Amino acid sequence: MGLSIRLADLYEMTAEERDEVLGRLVREAVAPANGQLSEVDARVRTFEQQYEMSSAELLERLRQGTQVETAEIAQWLFWLEVQKRCAPR
């Protein structure tokens, strides 16, 4: 989902390389989601298929206390939040 860079790699770059990479990071951060939202949607669908329930059903089960929040469920919730924040308004 976009460019990522390790801090250690930045230290090894020339000033020009750093400017280029940091500029690209900033441009990507402020750009519209474009095709990235489809990737997020696909991740959510994968969880829904794996657990054989909709995201709405997951949220309701969590609210009722009938669903245990595992590490995988937490990942699902993370992608749901990303999906919510990136959805066109």
**For residue 88, what are the CA distances in angstroms to 7, 32, 71?**
32, 9, 28
Q: CB within 8 A of 26, min separation 6: which ones?
A: none
Same domain, 41 and 27: no
Same domain, 42 and 20: no
pTM of the model: 0.61
Percent of the chain with pLDDT over 70: 87
Burial (Cβ within 10 Å: 0-12, 13-18, ≥19) of residue 86: middle
Same domain, 9 and 48: no
Percent of the chain with pLDDT over 90: 47
Same domain, 14 and 52: no
Can you give the pLDDT at residue 88? 63
Can you give the pLDDT at residue 30? 61
- Span 73-78, average pLDDT: 94
Per the structure, the complete domain to which residue 65 belongs is given by 36-86
| Tens digits of residue pLDDT in 3-44 | 677 888 888 989 999 888 888 887 776 665 566 788 889 999
